[in-house]
Each structure stands twice: as C-alpha cells, then as structure tokens.
Structure 1
Amino acid sequence: MSADIVSQFIERLSWDKVARHIAAGRPAILPIGAAAKQHGFHLPLNTDRVQAEWFAAQLAERIDALIWPTVTYGYYPAFVEYAGSASLSASTFEAVVHEIAAGILDGGIGTLFVLDTGISTLARVDRALARFDPARVTHLRLYQGPRFSRVAGQIAEQRHGSHADELETSLMLALAPDLVEPERAEASPVLRQEVPGRLTPSDGNSPNYSRSGSYGDPTLATPAKGAALLAAILDDLDEQVSVALGKNAMRPQPGTSR
C-alpha cells in the first residue's frame, strides 16, 4: 500500500494531522465490513473488511477523503451457526453506526460517505443515518449499483448465489488473490426452495443447508470475472459520489492488486 493511501486512514495519523485535514474540508469515508463472518472454506472471516477497505482506499484516492476505522461488527444473523461468526442485534448495530457517524460529523467533517459491503446491513444502516442531513451523509451500497447488477447478470454461471459465491470469490481473486484458497471452494447444494433465514452447516434437511457456508458456486469464480465486477463497482461509486459532491469524481485506471 502506497504512502499516499496510508495517509488516508486516520488510525495511522496523529490527531493534529487529522485536525488539519478536516479543517481543509476533506470528506470522510466510514467503511462497514465484517471481520468475523464466515465465507465458506475458501475465504477468510474478514473478507468483507478486506473489500470495504480496498474500495474505501480507491474512493479516498479519487476524492481526497479521510478513512475512519472500519465497523467490523454488524447485523449478520444468517451466519451465526458457523464458528467465529458474530452478529449484533439490529438495534445495537443501528445505534453503533449512528453514534459513530454523529461523532464524525460533530468533529467538523462536512461530507460523510458510509461504504457498506453488507446485504442484511443495508436497511439497518439506512435507519441509522435517517436523522442526518442527506446533503451531508450518503449511504454507498457497494453491490447495489446498476453497472454491478448488469455485469453480474452477464457473467454469472451459477444458478443461485449471494454469499461466498461465484461473484464474491471472483472479486477476491481480483483484489486479494493471496487470501483465496480456490482448491477448498465448495458449492452449496441445489436449492429445493429459497427460504430467507440462517444458513446451517449441520441440518441437512434445511432448505438453507450449506456444509461449507457458501451460498452459490464459488468453483466458477475467475480473476477476469472479478476484474469486470471491480470496474463496474468503481463506476457505480463514482456516479454516487459525483452526485453527492455535485461534481465529477475523476478516477484513474483501477488497480486490482493493492
């Protein structure tokens, strides 16, 4: 990671340097990405955090933003049967996000981007941010943009999926290949029916049974698919941020190995 990118993370700066950056009007990014959430046999528990901080660094480089420490615990009830996976209650998670965001804004930040890598967290983060001025706070839904959805639909070969699957594993192969163990990837069973709720590694009769914890088929993942998805997400982020800032967010060609 370059020295310029390191300087965007406030946890690596002294408080007086942070104060000077805030006084200069730099925006802030608050990444949300689990560090204790199973991602199958082939990906680490901090997969969401890795993605959140990678995209935060990319975005910060484009708009000269400061990055606050990642919120690594959240509302992830679907995964608690898998060892190491943790989930806060919805109310606790909402309170945590609200209080952190309030502290950032009270500290003098004029514009805050909350970068969210979750699915179950989306509605909760919306609720946490609802009382803030929308001109100052923007919820960036990392995997909800139109370009990502279009590219995902074009390249996906799996019949179902949404977690540690073909798409998420492809992303990780592109941005952090050293963290992926492709030989350990295991597809979840063919769904008899899609039932919202917790995945389970032990109840073979459950429609949500997945021995590995994957929901989809990560064996179909490739770095090329991941690179296409990364580019789509960055374009979606640029559009959202440009609207929020009222100007074009110029960006260089994205790297895929930082």
Structure 2
Amino acid sequence: MRTEKIIIPSILVISLLLFAFLSPKLTPFDISEQNLMIAKNAPSLSHIMGTDIYGRDMFSRVIAASRISVFSALAVVLLMSITGVIVGLFCGYLGGIADTVLMRVSDIFLAFPGLVLAIAAAGLFQNGMFGAIIALASVGWPRYARLARGLVLSTKTSTYINAARLSGSNTVQIVFTEILPNIIGQIAVTASLDIGTSLMELSALSFLGLGATPPTPEWGSMINEGRSLLQIAPWITLSPGVAIFITVSIFNIFGEALRDYYNI
C-alpha cells in the first residue's frame, strides 16, 4: 500500500525532470527572438501565454526557464545535504572538540533567517546563478548537519553498531555502511521537501538581481521583468509564477509521499 502511494508522485517528478532537461527542444518559438510589434500582447492562440515587453513568446520562455530553475534547485539541495550530512555523521559519531565547534557554527547560521544570509552571500559572490546556488547551499547545510547528528546519536549505541566495531570495521566503514543506510530515509524526505523551498529562494534571489541575469530565462527574473506591468500585462508575471507554483507543488507532494513510504 505504501508503495502504491509513491508511484504517481514519482512519475510526476520524473516527468518534470525529463521535461526540464528537454525544455530547450520543446519551445515553439525562439526564446531570444524579439518583435516589438507584438510586445505585451495578451494570451492568444498564437501565443498562449502572451508576449513580454520585448515581444518574446512567454510560453517558450517559461518552458526554457524550467531547466535552469529546477536543476539549480536540485543542485542547492544536493550540495547542502551532502555537506551537512557528512559533517553531522562524523560529529555525531566521534564527538569531541570538532563536534562542539561545528555545532556552535551551525547554531550561528540557524540563528539568522536563511534567505537574509543567502542574499548577503550572493551579493558577496556576485557570480550569477552559480553564486546564488553556492550562497544558498552555504547557509543551508547546518539543518542537515543537525538532523544527521541527532539521528547518529540515537543509533550509534545500537547492537549492530557495536557488532561492527567488534568485527574490526573502522570509523568510515561504520559511518557509511552501517549508520548512513539506516538514516537515509529521514534525510531523503527532508531533501525532497527542500527542493521546492530552494526553488523559491533561488527565484527570490533572481528577482532581486542576485541570481540569473537577463536575457537568461529564469522564473524569478521573469517575474521581476513584469512586476511594473501587473495592471496592464499581468501574464508576464503570472506565467512564471504559475510555473513555480506547479513545480513546488509536485516536489512537495513527492516529499509527503516519501514521508509516508518511510513511515516517518
């Protein structure tokens, strides 16, 4: 029964990833082609999401933007989860001074709003979308470090861990072959739910001019392009906004299904 509940969300996520990967080949119009004669045209049969301030097809640009938006969010979650989990695993298992120092560092990061720190970090890096990814990952890893450390502390005294020590397994072997497989479910659930959050945060950074820069299509920067035209051309902002909503919803549905699957 649990497996059946995760099938449809998994299909949705896989379909979304394939769509994002193939998006440059799925656009009906050239995303860079400008035509001021049809600028700010409302949605019609020829341009189902209308056109932007330069006469570019919004539908094509929303589709093309899915690749950078979705895979950038995946990169953020991958970077911060790997970093945080590795720190948390060894801090929880070994303890000592390194554990104390790294956990105090993580407390400092967690004491401030993550997006505020990310804005500061992105402004420091000033390297477009890559800088935004590094900025979000650099402020997001403490959550995973805390999570992994707590899970390790609750399992490292288990019988199977003591048996692994007695069998001659070293620290690295115990951490990665005995402990990690038993806590990966909780981490996977957290990561899947964080993808949607990361996508919104990346869009926010791009909206503020700290992520993707025009003419690169990215949902956050596209919303920024149309914010001053909400009253006369709302489709310029609504089109990427709806894309963000749908994408975040799919990943959240998948995360909830994964949580039910692992019975967490």
Higher strand share: 1
Task: Considering Cα pairs closer than 8 Å and 6+ residues apart, tell me whether 1 or 2 has the greater RCO.
Answer: 2
- Structure 1 length as normaliser, TM-score? 0.25
- Structure 2 length as normaliser, TM-score? 0.25
Between Structure 1 and Structure 2, whose CA radius of gyration is higher? 2
Higher helix share: 2
